[in-house]
Amino acid sequence: MLPSDVGRRHGSEIRLACETAQAMWKQRPKAADPISRPLHPIPLVSHPSHSSPLIISSQAHLKPHLNTLPSANKPSSTMSLPAKMRALVTVEGKKAEVKEVPVPSLDADEILVRVKAVTLNPTDWKHIQYIAPPGVTVGCDFAGVVEQIGPDAKNTSLKKGDRVAGFVHGSKDADRGSFAEFLKTNSELVAKIPDNFDDAAASALGVGGETAVQALFHRLAIPVPDYSHGAVPVTDDSPELLVWAGSTSVGQWAVQIGHATGYKVITTASPKNHELLKQLGAHDVYDYRDETTPQKISSKYPNLSKALDCISENGTQQLCVKSLGTNGGDVVVLLKPDPEAIALRKGEVNIIHTLAYTALGRPFTYGKAAVFDQDRVSADAALMKEWLNGDKGHFYSLLQRGILRGNKIKKMDGGLDSINEGLKYLQDGKVSAEKLAYTISS
């Protein structure tokens, strides 16, 4: 559910979302009621030209209404925070507007983050258009600074002022979206940001990076290796991994993580993005528009048994099934499994759905049943804590050492007030191989 070469891909998700919106609203929890500098750099950060229609000079500012809140873990001290903040909030008519809302109140095991930068995902505009009720805060990806720590926060290494990144389940609750001046989140579900990443690059870690980790290491059951000595070398005998649509946000992360884990990563993209993906670690890149690509892949890699479909609609699930080798295997998809793809090689290929929100550890309803129960979300959250958890997780180490380089970023002007324009840009299919990033506070 992320920007890709196939810009408008929301048919199956819309159908699923529309029938589930009411259930998600009724069962919602009630509110308190990197691109690093690699050794051989490539230009992964771009800036819009002055002629870009998305450039607006206005910036979001904190409102001057202050109150005094206790500093968690330090009962004797206090710190000043605004009582109100600006946030992008859903309103009637399937729209979102910047409004003044209360700064979130923490649960005991959470942290409060002052948001510095955010990146956009298709799930953001889709929730506004098809799922979210009025009055919830939009946005998932973020990078920011720790402002407050709850007394029961399990990540004891965090301190006020630490730079952190992650994602939240935006467009679901009034007090949890990232398109805001402050947000709250679980202390173990953020990664510290290494010095070689700026806020914009770090903010792209969330949905894309964590979806890739979940897909590879849980749904495809790839063992997490020991990265302490660096990336696992890729040899002639290394296993293979197909990442369909490698230039998407999830795809770019999956290519890099798969390569660092010792896999020959085969991927697809439009030709203009082939060189980027090779520099990110792809072993072989094919044109996704070429109708013979599945046959070429399956013929060259007869033992290929693992695939991640980063589009998951408009026929891509079937293309992934056809691309697997002689004995079939597993295809992970980001949207509802396609019955035609399931039938194509029934008994040989398993199609497995994954959804990043389960990594947040909070049960929720998606569809007509509570399919994401506590057992499933707990397992996904445990995996994510191995990868996040401040500076203790794999993400911090791999980003700091330049083994992972994150997404290609396009920095946009205008801050919080211009995010709606960026979402329209994304919805219209005008984003390819990059994520749109906005500064929320300096």
307: domain CATH number is 3.40.50.720
Can you tell me the mean pLDDT for 365-378?
A: 70
The pLDDT of residue 373 is: 72
Number of domains comprising the chain: 2
**Are 289 and 170 within one domain?**
no
**Are 180 and 261 within one domain?**
no
Dist CA 122 CA 130 (whole Å): 12
Can you tell me the mean pLDDT for 150-167?
A: 96
**Are 173 and 255 within one domain?**
no
Dist CA 308 CA 296 (whole Å): 17
Q: Greater confidence, 74 or 99?
A: 99
Give pLDDT tens digits for 273-283.
999 999 999 99
**Are 303 and 414 within one domain?**
no
**Are 291 and 258 within one domain?**
yes
**Are 124 and 91 within one domain?**
yes
Amino acid at residue number 288: Y
The pLDDT of residue 362 is: 83
In a domain, 136, yes or no: yes
**Are 282 and 347 within one domain?**
yes
**Are 181 and 98 within one domain?**
yes
| Average pLDDT of the chain to the nearest whole number | 85
- Phi, psi (deg, nearest 5) at residue 241: -135, 130
- CATH number of the domain that residue 130 is part of: 3.90.180.10
**Are 157 and 243 within one domain?**
no
Give the Cβ contact number of residue 97 at 10 Å. 11
Can you tell me the mean pLDDT for 34-40?
A: 34
**Are 349 and 264 within one domain?**
yes
Is the model's pLDDT at 359 over the cut of 80?
Answer: yes
pTM over 0.85: no
In a domain, 333, yes or no: yes
Q: Are strands 141-149 and 163-167 parallel, antiparallel or unpaired?
A: antiparallel
* Position 369 confidence tier, pLDDT thresholds 50, 70, 90: low
Work out the percent of the chain whose per-residue pLDDT is above 90. 77
Q: Which residue range forms the structural domain that includes residue 420?
A: 84-187+408-439
Give pLDDT tens digits for 78-94.
458 999 999 999 999 99
In a domain, 16, yes or no: no
Can you tell me the mean pLDDT for 394-421?
A: 98
Identity of the highest mean pLDDT range in 23-32, 151-160, 300-309, 362-371: 300-309
Is the model's pLDDT at 418 over the cut of 70?
Answer: yes
In a domain, 161, yes or no: yes
**Are 164 and 293 within one domain?**
no
Q: Greater confidence, 440 or 38?
A: 440
In a domain, 58, yes or no: no
- The residues, ordered by sequence, that sit 6+ positions from 140 with a Cβ below 8 Å of its Cβ are 121, 123, 124, 167, 168, 169, 170, 177, 178, 206, 207
**Are 232 and 375 within one domain?**
yes
In a domain, 239, yes or no: yes
The pLDDT of residue 371 is: 63
Give pLDDT tens digits for 173-231.
999 999 999 999 999 999 999 999 999 999 999 999 999 999 999 999 999 999 999 99
In a domain, 157, yes or no: yes
In a domain, 68, yes or no: no
Give pLDDT tens digits for 329-344.
999 999 999 999 999 9
Is the model's pLDDT at 26 over the cut of 60?
Answer: no
